[in-house]
Chain A
Amino acid sequence: MTSIAAEAAAEPSYLKAGYTLRSWLLTTDHKRIAVLYMISVTAFFFLGGAAAAAVRINLITPEGAILTADGYNKAFTIHGVIMVWFFLIPSIPATFGNFLIPLMIGARDLAFPRLNLASWYILMFGASFTMYALVAGGVDTGWTFYTPYSSMFSNSHVIAAIIGVFISGFSSIATGLNFIVTIHKLRAPGMTWFRLPIFVWTHYATSLILVLATPVLAISLILIAAERLLGIGVFDPALGGDPLLFQHLFWFYSHPAVYIMILPAMGVVTELVTAFSRRRIFGYSFVAFSSLAIATLGFMVWGHHMFVSGQSMYAGMVFSILSFLIAVPSAIKVYNWTATLYKGQIALDTPMLYAMGFIGLFVVGGITGLFVASLAVDVHVTDTYFVVAHFHYIMVGATVMGYLGALHYWWPKITGRMYPEWWGRISAAFVFFGFNLTFFPQFILGYLGMPRRYFTYPPEFQVLNVMSSAGASILAVAYLFPFFYLLWSLRYGKIAGPNPWGAAGLEWTTSSPPPKHNFPEIPVVTAEAYAYPVAADGGATHHG
């Protein structure tokens, strides 16, 4: 292994393969494209975060502190649209999946490098429409675009926003397709399916959803445009349409989309837990197949968003029991991560703190998911802050924790430099604390009966809202820390070496940052994934 890293280091790294802007914007190197994605989704994350800040500041007083009714409606809409389609969906797959899948399976690149670059341009092109909607005056439908409000009643820039989302969907489809073909065709000799890191399995499952679900979103958005622009009656009963049809189509995409957001993070956490306890994942095949089970069952639970919509009672019951069922593969993962720690060599470095934070928040999000899957309970809490809290525990608590964990763990591989560990740990602790202070009070608010998407609320809810806003301000600062210290580390961070964590996995056998073609020659794989202990080579093992 040492020799691979040494040979790889003899070649210029992918970062030094060219210094011009052109060498970045026209690159077909999956690692550079991953960096392009990382820069873009970071920008979207802070933009969506600014909208969230406006929402939370407004809710400090019951009358609404800073925004008008319309201003508030536009703020939460743009927060949702940006965070879902321009941060969460591309976040882990398009950055870390892109960077790591070829490295993890021993390939030189993805199967379709130019398509990969095109995916990034498509996302940027889509984003430009959505950004236009934002600067032209905003959109006020909520990220869910429910009809007939979005198609016939809203006076905001619905069409520009949905064109942006529609276009960005093709980026998802192309990326998913690229991953599927790559994982099937470009595995190194000896890299059998059951030697793949779980990260690759979860990205495979995610890619299936991206390819199969995204077209349905495209269909529903086109139908909104047809009704809004051409007056073709699809959803508005006044034109002979059915408003619930939209909800079925929308959630047929958008529930699986939640698994697009969480599965890659589960893959990340599996890598982190194994690396920082230096243990093989407990129950490899259960964990691998549970990803596919989640992807499959994820397509059969959309109706649990519609228990009070007017869909049939029996449909509600079927969707409820299926939603209980999908908790099983999720629970398997949690139990198996915990069992992996047993007899491990555990180090609580920043990535591991994020991984453990992920597990804690994911469990809370999952449990409250069972509450909202319970029919009569959901009738009370749906469309309240309870649901807002629930899905933020999954999408922000879990997924953003996973993203930040990945960012710290693979930062030395991507940049060749270590981040400052002390700052990393402090930030992880602040993210965890700030997150819980922001969102835990929202469970109570929701159960007490505060509906979501309210710019003004009854005064008895103020105390909990102020707590939530206070938490949000801590969270905002905690998210800014890594932004600054990671930038700092690009220049001043300690040189990482090929394998600073002593981790298993092919990506750690090549130099940091890797050369343009990843490996001097295609590696031959002879061992299972997570073959610990790993002999730490040349790299600065950070724990001495």
Chain B
Amino acid sequence: MEPTKGVELWPVQLSQHAQQVDWVILAFTALLVVLVLPVFAAMIYFAVKYRRGSMADRSPSASRNVWLEASWSVIPFLLAGVFFAWAASLYFDLFHPPADSLGIDVVAKQWMWKFEHPGGQREIDTLHVPVNTPVELTMISEDVIHSLYFPALRIKQDVLPGRYTRLWFKADKVGEYHLHCAEFCGTDHARMGGSLIVLDPEGYQRWLGQAGADTSLAAAGEALFRKYGCSGCHGANSSVRAPNLAGVYGSPVPLDGGGTVIADERYIRDSVLFPKKQVAAGYKPIMPTFQGQVSEEDLLKLIAYIKSLS
């Protein structure tokens, strides 16, 4: 960590998104200053000119003017609308990660961040990523609500128990930056943070090698798939009639009782923990629940395995 000492007046911009957010706030500030300064100036000018006892002209003037009032309501609103749209379009982008993003899993708990790379490399409170590469985080909490915050990227996302949330970014400068928990989560909330380390591609490969994982997430998931007995029914040679999971990830699944659902991370997680919630059409609801038996980290590995079958 090499924090800047003294007063820093503007935070580092680590992505194009960060630059855009800064432009929104600077331009919006400029507009609002233009709208507000005349009001403050008029207040002070009137307070001096019309001070009690001054000789200023006080010939009667209207105490209402509908057109004036309507215009000073509507025009600033329309001007501000531009900034609504600009900020909303950047927000829209945050929900649409590029398809070729590097996927990293995040499991939060009081008071640490656990990161798992696709190759099985694990780290705590520090996240290594390659520069100029879109990275998509799939995040879940084991206990309360947390929020993963990267000030240099101008992004954060709450991390919820029981549900995956996502965050993606493309860091464009090598270096070390803060990451924090932004949602109050108990005693050591303020210490639930660490570093985002952005490496050049070779550096990232070197780090992956040094971090030394024996097995990739998908391979670990495959082992769990057997350990928890999933393969007994969902395996290729099973005699039990259960959906074949090859190729299921990302595709639509017709549901018993009508409708379809895309088999994403949420659907797979729910199918393991709440198998009766959304049963695939044509199958009997015979799968037992694994609630309380499979940890969040193992669930993410199982999902990685099922993804790898596509």
Is the CB of B154 closer than 8 A to any CB of chain A? yes
Q: Which residue of chain B has the shortest Cβ distance to A461 in the bound complex?
A: B8
State how many angstroms separate the Cβ of A366 from the closest Cβ of chain B: 9
Provide the bound-state CA to CA distance between A457 and B7, in Å: 14
Provide the bound-state CA to CA distance between A371 and B74, in Å: 18
Beyond the given A346-B51, A367-B36, A458-B178, could you list 15 further A-B residue pairs with CB under 8 A, ordered by the A residue number?
A: A153-B143, A317-B91, A335-B69, A342-B42, A343-B56, A343-B61, A363-B39, A374-B86, A375-B88, A377-B25, A379-B154, A380-B154, A451-B149, A452-B184, A455-B190
Residues of A within 8 A of B81 (CB): 321, 324
User: B6 touching A310 by the CB < 8 A rule?
Assistant: no
Q: Which residue of chain B has the shortest Cβ distance to A340 in the bound complex?
A: B63
Q: In the complex where A279-B63, A346-B50 touch, is A371 in contact with B25 (Cβ < 8 A)?
A: yes
Residues of B within 8 A of A343 (CB): 50, 56-59, 61
Residues of A within 8 A of B25 (CB): 371, 374, 377, 447
| Contact for B178 among A347, A367, A449, CB less than 8 A | A449
User: A237 touching B184 by the CB < 8 A rule?
Assistant: no
User: A282 touching B186 by the CB < 8 A rule?
Assistant: no
Q: Which residue of chain A has the shortest Cβ distance to B24 in the bound complex?
A: A377
User: A453 touching B184 by the CB < 8 A rule?
Assistant: yes
Give the residues from 377 to 407 in chain A that come closer than 8 angstroms, CB to CB, to chain B: 377-380, 382-384
User: Which residues of B are at the interface with A, using a C-beta cutoff of 8 A?
Assistant: 3-11, 17, 20-21, 24-25, 28-29, 32, 36, 39-40, 42-43, 46-47, 50-53, 56-59, 61, 63-65, 69, 72-74, 76-77, 80-81, 83-84, 86-88, 90-92, 94-95, 110, 143-145, 147, 149, 151-152, 154-158, 160-163, 165, 178, 180-191
State how many angstroms separate the Cβ of A181 from the closest Cβ of chain B: 30
Provide the bound-state CA to CA distance between A338 and B50, in Å: 12
Residues of B within 8 A of A460 (CB): 3-8
Residues of B within 8 A of A495 (CB): none
Most buried by A among B42, B72, B184, B188: B184
Q: Which residue of chain A has the shortest Cβ distance to B89 in the bound complex?
A: A376
Residues of B within 8 A of A132 (CB): none
Q: Which residue of chain A has the shortest Cβ distance to B179 in the bound complex?
A: A449
User: A335 touching B39 by the CB < 8 A rule?
Assistant: yes
User: B91 touching A379 by the CB < 8 A rule?
Assistant: yes
User: A236 touching B161 by the CB < 8 A rule?
Assistant: yes
Residues of B within 8 A of A342 (CB): 42, 46, 50, 61
Q: Can you list 11 A-B contacts with CB-CB less than 8 angstroms, sorted by A residue number?
A: A73-B187, A310-B165, A327-B80, A342-B61, A343-B50, A343-B59, A375-B88, A376-B87, A383-B156, A449-B11, A452-B182
| Contact for A146 among B20, B90, B183, CB less than 8 A | B183
User: A376 touching B51 by the CB < 8 A rule?
Assistant: no
Is the CB of A219 closer than 8 A to any CB of chain B? no
Residues of B within 8 A of A44 (CB): none
User: A331 touching B72 by the CB < 8 A rule?
Assistant: yes
Provide the bound-state CA to CA distance between A291 and B90, in Å: 33
Residues of A within 8 A of B155 (CB): 379-380
User: A336 touching B185 by the CB < 8 A rule?
Assistant: no
Residues of B within 8 A of A338 (CB): 39, 42-43, 46
Provide the bound-state CA to CA distance between A452 and B184, in Å: 8
Top 3 nearest A-B pairs (CB, nearest first) are: A449-B151, A237-B162, A376-B90
Residues of A within 8 A of B77 (CB): 324-325, 327-328
State how many angstroms separate the Cβ of A155 from the closest Cβ of chain B: 9
Interface string of A435-466 (1 = CB under 8 A from B): 00000000010011101111111111001100
Provide the bound-state CA to CA distance between A342 and B157, in Å: 48
Provide the bound-state CA to CA distance between A69 and B111, in Å: 13
Give the residues from 327 to 365 in chain A that come closer than 8 angstroms, CB to CB, to chain B: 327-328, 331-332, 334-336, 338, 341-348, 356, 359-360, 363
Q: How many residues of A contact B (CB 8 A)?
A: 91
Is the CB of A420 closer than 8 A to any CB of chain B? no
Is the CB of A154 closer than 8 A to any CB of chain B? yes
Residues of B within 8 A of A324 (CB): 77, 80-81, 84
Residues of B within 8 A of A141 (CB): 184
Residues of B within 8 A of A131 (CB): none
Is the CB of A286 closer than 8 A to any CB of chain B? yes
Q: Which residue of chain B has the shortest Cβ distance to A141 in the bound complex?
A: B184
User: B73 touching A328 by the CB < 8 A rule?
Assistant: yes
Q: In the complex where A237-B161, A346-B51 touch, is A285 in contact with B189 (Cβ < 8 A)?
A: no
Residues of A within 8 A of B58 (CB): 343, 345
Provide the bound-state CA to CA distance between A370 and B83, in Å: 9
Is the CB of A21 closer than 8 A to any CB of chain B? no
User: A310 touching B163 by the CB < 8 A rule?
Assistant: yes
User: A282 touching B156 by the CB < 8 A rule?
Assistant: no
Residues of B within 8 A of A453 (CB): 184, 189-190
State how many angstroms separate the Cβ of B43 from the closest Cβ of chain A: 5
Give the residues from 257 to 308 in chain A that come closer than 8 angstroms, CB to CB, to chain B: 277-286, 307-308
User: A346 touching B3 by the CB < 8 A rule?
Assistant: no
| Contact for A336 among B10, B69, B145, B184, CB less than 8 A | B69
Q: Which residue of chain B has the shortest Cβ distance to A336 in the bound complex?
A: B69
Is the CB of A423 closer than 8 A to any CB of chain B? no
User: A286 touching B69 by the CB < 8 A rule?
Assistant: yes
Provide the bound-state CA to CA distance between A346 and B58, in Å: 12
Residues of B within 8 A of A236 (CB): 161
Residues of A within 8 A of B52 (CB): 278, 345-347, 543
User: A374 touching B84 by the CB < 8 A rule?
Assistant: yes
Q: In the complex where A453-B184, A460-B6 touch, is A320 in contact with B63 (Cβ < 8 A)?
A: no
Residues of B within 8 A of A317 (CB): 88, 91
Q: Which residue of chain B has the shortest Cβ distance to A373 in the bound complex?
A: B84
User: A243 touching B46 by the CB < 8 A rule?
Assistant: no
Most buried by B among A280, A363, A367, A374: A374
| Contact for B183 among A316, A327, A383, CB less than 8 A | A383
Residues of A within 8 A of B65 (CB): 283
Q: Which residue of chain A has the shortest Cβ distance to B150 in the bound complex?
A: A449
Residues of A within 8 A of B32 (CB): 367, 370
State how many angstroms separate the Cβ of A306 from the closest Cβ of chain B: 9
